[in-house]
Amino acid sequence: MTDRPNILVIMTDQQNADAMSCAGNADLSTPHQDRLAAEGIRFERAYVAFPLCGPSRAAMATGRWPHQLGAMKNGSNLDAGDIAASTGPLMRAAGYRTAWAGKWHVPDIDMGHDAECFGFESVCGFSDTYLASACIDFLRSAHDQPFLLFASFDNPHNICEHGRDQLLPWGEVETAGDLPAGYPNLPTNFAPPAFEARVLTDLRKSIPPVQYGFTQERWRRFRHVYFRLCEKVDTEIGRLLAVLDETGLSENTVVIMLSDHGEHNGAHELIQKSTSYEESARVPLIIRHPPNMLAVRNETSTALINTGLDLLPTLLDYAGAPPQTALTGASLRPIATTGEQPADWRTAVFLESRMDRTDVELRMVRSERYKYTLYDRGQYREMLFDLEADPGEMVNLAVESRFADVLNSHRTLLHDWCIETGDTFGTHYSHGPHAVIPGKGYANAPARRSVPVRSAPRSRP
């Protein structure tokens, strides 16, 4: 056992935090992810920086916010300075062999010829069919230095094709018609909440369930297919874990498993992602240490995590690399080692998004108990949920005066975050007839002067 372990990062696509049997979901079985959780620590409050593939992955690669990178949609290029200070180059400089297999999407889906530019060797292109086998060949090859291998699967993202009644790119899953008794029931939060942001009503009108007239039975089939796709990728994860055991690499390899964003899977009559609802924004995150490495086992952490900011500092910590002062995320190694949050651990996490179909932007702050989301337009554009009493997000407390103090404190948290990170979304707090003023609520007076917000930097100085 060395002080600098190998690192295997297993990434799925569009898997929400509850889509694992170790999370208590009886509608599917994910024995290999369950094994990782039993032999490591599962973070049950891990949120993405941006619930969409490209921006989320850009954040994870750089440890910076998508609005700072200019990556607020799929297909956004990164500046040379951001690439040079991203995961591949930094881990190579720390003495690691860096390799990538599968989906990339920063900005192209397949890393291809950009692999060296981003500091990785390409082990396999965009293909769930060949990804595990290519990773197995890599793991069995000779290693004269510690390695960082990303195994980046596409599934369960194929649920998008299923929702459009298209063939699934990496193979079909078994279904049994429209009325099988064995299909999962509808979620308890299937209905939209009262006083939901009007922009979400508009979003709902633009997605296949409305266009194709999904019945409740059709929704159940959708959920069945999603869970089978989660099981499909879990099987591939099992192949990777088996070769770690077979080769002895388990004795010196940290395994990190996570997803780039979630999937609504019928919650609030929605599919796909891009909102701040739990099913879209919260993802699986598990860390397993080698047996001889100091760490907790079979633990669940309630620490508030942002995968976009925290993954890179975590990797650098395991690599023994010098701290990067430009990074604002935190290493998860101390929590994975002791199971305890450091005394100065954050008490809130943030999220940003731009919904492609409507071009509406939103920002979210999730504190220990509450979640507050602000949309940039529309009726009921503030939503406040008590996640302790209302985990399904069915009661919007922003319309109740008795929660004014909670609402204002979260407005202030989000406003201050906008200023701190250079997010011009902060101007929505202080101008226009429907602006939100921290501590004051909606502005009914004429337009006010904008809050000063510095421009978002495109690259580091």
**Over the stretch 244-261, which tens digit does the pLDDT of each residue have?**
999 999 999 999 999 999
pLDDT at residue 456, rounded to an integer = 36
**Over the stretch 76-105, which tens digit does the pLDDT of each residue have?**
999 999 999 999 999 999 999 999 999 999
Task: Tell me which of 56-60, 189-193, 411-415, 435-439 is least confident.
Answer: 435-439
pLDDT band at 176 (very low <50, low <70, confident <90, very high): confident
Q: Which CATH architecture does the domain made up of 369-442 adopt?
A: 2-Layer Sandwich (3.30)
* Mean pLDDT calculated for residue range 27-43: 98
- Contact assessment for residue 153 and residue 131, using Cβ atoms and an 8 Å cutoff: yes
Task: Tell me which of 147-161, 169-183, 330-344, 355-369 is least confident.
Answer: 169-183
Question: Rounded to a whole number, what is the largest CA-CA distance in the chain?
Answer: 69
pLDDT at 457 over 80: no
**Over the stretch 121-141, which tens digit does the pLDDT of each residue have?**
999 999 999 999 999 999 999
Indicate if 369-442 has the same CATH topology as 6-338. Answer: no
Q: What percent of the chain has pLDDT over 90?
A: 83
pLDDT at residue 114, rounded to an integer = 79
pLDDT band at 437 (very low <50, low <70, confident <90, very high): low
Task: Tell me which of 45-59, 277-291, 350-364, 428-442 is least confident.
Answer: 428-442
Task: Tell me which of 36-45, 113-122, 171-180, 234-243 is least confident.
Answer: 171-180
pLDDT at residue 435, rounded to an integer = 62
pLDDT at 433 over 90: no
Domain boundaries, the chain: 6-338, 369-442
pLDDT at residue 348, rounded to an integer = 98
What whole-number distance in Å separates Cα of residue 6 and Cα of residue 29? Answer: 28
pLDDT at 323 over 90: no
* Mean pLDDT calculated for residue range 144-167: 97
pLDDT at residue 180, rounded to an integer = 83
pLDDT at 167 over 90: yes
Smallest CA-to-CA distance from 41 within 260, 337, 396, 307 is with 337
pLDDT band at 454 (very low <50, low <70, confident <90, very high): very low
Q: Where is pLDDT greater, at 230 or 426? A: 230
pLDDT at 47 over 90: yes
pLDDT at 21 over 60: yes
* Mean pLDDT calculated for residue range 231-235: 98
pLDDT at 452 over 80: no
pLDDT at residue 443, rounded to an integer = 40
pLDDT at residue 444, rounded to an integer = 34
Mean pLDDT of the chain: 91
Q: What is the 3-state secondary structure (H, E, C) of the chain?
A: CCCCCEEEEEEECCCCCCCCHHHCCCCCCCHHHHHHHHCCEEECCEECCCCCHHHHHHHHHHCCCHHHHCCCCCCCCCCHHHHHCCHHHHHHHCCCEEEEEEECCCCCCECHHHCCCCCCEEEECCCCCCHHHHHHHHHHCCCCCCEEEEEECCCCCCHHHHHCCCCCCCCCCCCCCCCCCCCCCCCCCCCCCECCCHHHHHHHHCCHHHHCCCCHHHHHHHHHHHHHHHHHHHHHHHHHHHHHHHHCHHHHEEEEEEECCCCCCCHHHCCCCCCCCHHHHECCEEEECCCCCCCCCCEEECCCEEHHHHHHHHHHHHHCCCCCCCCCCCCCHHHHHHCCCCCCCCCEEEEEEEECCCCEEEEEEEECCEEEEEECCCCCCEEEEECCCCCCCCECHHHCHHHHHHHHHHHHHHHHHHHHHCCHHHHHHCCCCCCEECCCEECCCCCCCCCCCCCCCCCCC
pLDDT band at 459 (very low <50, low <70, confident <90, very high): very low
Which CATH fold would you assign to the domain 6-338?
Alkaline Phosphatase, subunit A (3.40.720)
pLDDT at residue 297, rounded to an integer = 94
pLDDT at residue 57, rounded to an integer = 98
